[in-house]
Amino acid sequence: MILVTGGAGFIGANFVLDWAAQQGEAVVNLDKLTYAGNLETLASLDDNPKHVFVQGDIGDSALLDRLLAEHKPRAIVNFAAESHVDRSIHGPEDFVQTNVLGTFRLLESVRGYWSALPADQKAAFRFLHVSTDEVYGSLSATDPAFTEENKYEPNSPYSASKAASDHLVRAWHHTYGLPVLTTNCSNNYGPFHFPEKLIPLMIVNALAGKPLPVYGDGMQVRDWLYVKDHCSAIRRVLEAGRLGETYNVGGWNEKPNIEIVNTVCALLDELRPRADGKSYREQISYVTDRPGHDRRYAIDARKLERELGWKPAETFDTGIRKTVEWYLANGEWVANVQSGAYREWVQKQYEAAPAKAAA
Ligand code: NAD
Ligand code: TYD
């Protein structure tokens, strides 16, 4: 039995779905169901006795103590977090609350549980913390990709809160001997991605005939990894990672944002052409830049490849095609996540400020 936190969000749910399909080991899924948590994503597991869903907060120590005592997991995989940079700019407090304080409370409950385990189970136990490359800050165009040796230089409230959580995890290993592993992954994309992030937002806006908002000059670079490849990396690190180590996860797919948007448009032009025969590119709209916008992220994942033999299965071309096809085939999921509170976010982020003239 493993305990996954945040398993109703984008990456956590993909991980839980893959785990249930491949591993045969039960999973307890603790998720607060914030705006980003979605039980519809997990609907295919409704009748699966090896998936136990619990709605709750990683900061709720009493709940955690109870879950750990009841289910006795051999490992924890911690996905639960506030994850969107733009939301962290509008309202950083939730990020400190969940990513910093929540991780601290989770670590404390896990430490109590782990300390009392019999010696063999104690030795085999693992706490895997899922983190981001954004903790390393921003690269110039000529800097080498981030390795695990890079300094932490987080720039956004989101990345600062994730950096803090990584430091807590590290300290719980060094001070208390908790058997931890940390992964720092680049930008993910794929099925079940909430349409506040670049790729799904572009797909759903394009199909709805809305503007495709590109921040600043659109030349910021992100390093993209298909979500299922991130999940396979986490399984591999959980299985064979060296205790106390961090592993960068990425697929060497650096792309400027505008290229991503153009690729999404080209795929939609092919798979679901606009009624007027024009390209979806017509909808691109350059808008005011994100404050403090990191210019470039790039991941050097050679440690993970060298030590644990991990490699991604998808190239960017295969992954982005699968993603666009998934959104076209899952209109109901998309319509449902866009109802309710999503409207408020879109208004706050995109409709309050006027679009800039085309760059
Ligand atoms: P997400 O926002 O889609 O999902 C987060 C999930 O955590 C949601 O289901 C939410 O309900 C849950 N959650 C939030 N606060 C909680 C709390 N206090 N207690 C319990 N559950 C809570 O995020 P994601 O994109 O799936 O990211 C998952 C993890 O991976 C995060 O830790 C994120 O920092 C990290 N990460 C994400 C990316 C990316 O590109 N999305 C890249 C690298 C690392
Ligand atoms: P995002 O998906 O929010 O991930 P992150 O900020 O964690 O990298 O954004 C990816 C890139 O796309 C980032 O450089 C910001 C940019 N972006 C836009 O240009 N327009 C948008 O509407 C969004 C959401 C992001």
CATH number for position 137? 3.40.50.720
Q: Which ligand is closest in space to the CA of residue 83?
A: 1
Output the average pLDDT for the chain.
97
Q: How many domains are there within the chain?
A: 1
Residue 344 lies in a domain: no
Whether the CB of 135 sits within 6 Å of ligand 2: no
Q: Which domain holds residue 112?
A: 2-193+225-256+294-315
Residue 89 lies in a domain: yes
At 312 the pLDDT is 98
Residue 100 lies in a domain: yes
Does the pLDDT at position 357 exceed 70?
no
What are the tens digits of pLDDT across the range 129-185? 999 999 999 999 999 999 999 999 999 999 999 999 999 999 999 999 999 999 999
**Residue 354 binned pLDDT confidence (cut-offs 50, 70, 90):** low
CA of 200 to the centre of ligand 2 (A): 10
Residues 6+ apart with CB under 8 A from 339: none
What are the tens digits of pLDDT across the range 193-233? 999 999 999 999 999 999 999 999 999 999 999 999 999 99
At 341 the pLDDT is 86
Of 158, 286, 297, 327, which one is the catalytic site residue?
A: 158
Q: Is 286 a catalytic residue?
A: no
Out of 3, 4, 5, 11, mutate this one to test ligand 1's pocket (max ligand atoms within 8 Å of CB): namely: 11
At 353 the pLDDT is 64
Does the pLDDT at position 113 exceed 80?
yes
pTM: 0.98
Whether the CB of 214 sits within 6 Å of ligand 2: yes
What are the tens digits of pLDDT across the range 86-106? 999 999 999 999 999 999 999
Beta strand pairing call for 27-31 and 51-55: parallel
Q: Is 133 a catalytic residue?
A: yes
Phi, psi of 192 (to 5 degrees): 65, 20
Nearest atom in ligand 2 to 350's CA: 22
Of 31, 134, 166, 223, which one is the catalytic site residue?
A: 134
Residue 131 lies in a domain: yes
Residue 202 lies in a domain: no
At 355 the pLDDT is 55
Residue 264 lies in a domain: no
Secondary structure class of 176 (helix, strand, coil): helix
CB atoms within 10 A of CB 217: 12
Residue 279 lies in a domain: no
Does the pLDDT at position 359 exceed 50?
no
Q: Which ligand is closest in space to the CA of residue 234?
A: 1
Phi, psi of 149 (to 5 degrees): -85, -10
Q: Is 113 a catalytic residue?
A: no
What are the tens digits of pLDDT across the range 253-309? 999 999 999 999 999 999 999 999 999 999 999 999 999 999 999 999 999 999 999
Secondary structure class of 286 (helix, strand, coil): strand
Whether the CB of 182 sits within 6 Å of ligand 1: no
Residue 203 lies in a domain: no
Does the pLDDT at position 124 exceed 50?
yes
At 340 the pLDDT is 81
Percent above pLDDT 70 for the chain: 98
Out of 188, 198, 258, mutate this one to test ligand 2's pocket (max ligand atoms within 8 Å of CB): namely: 198
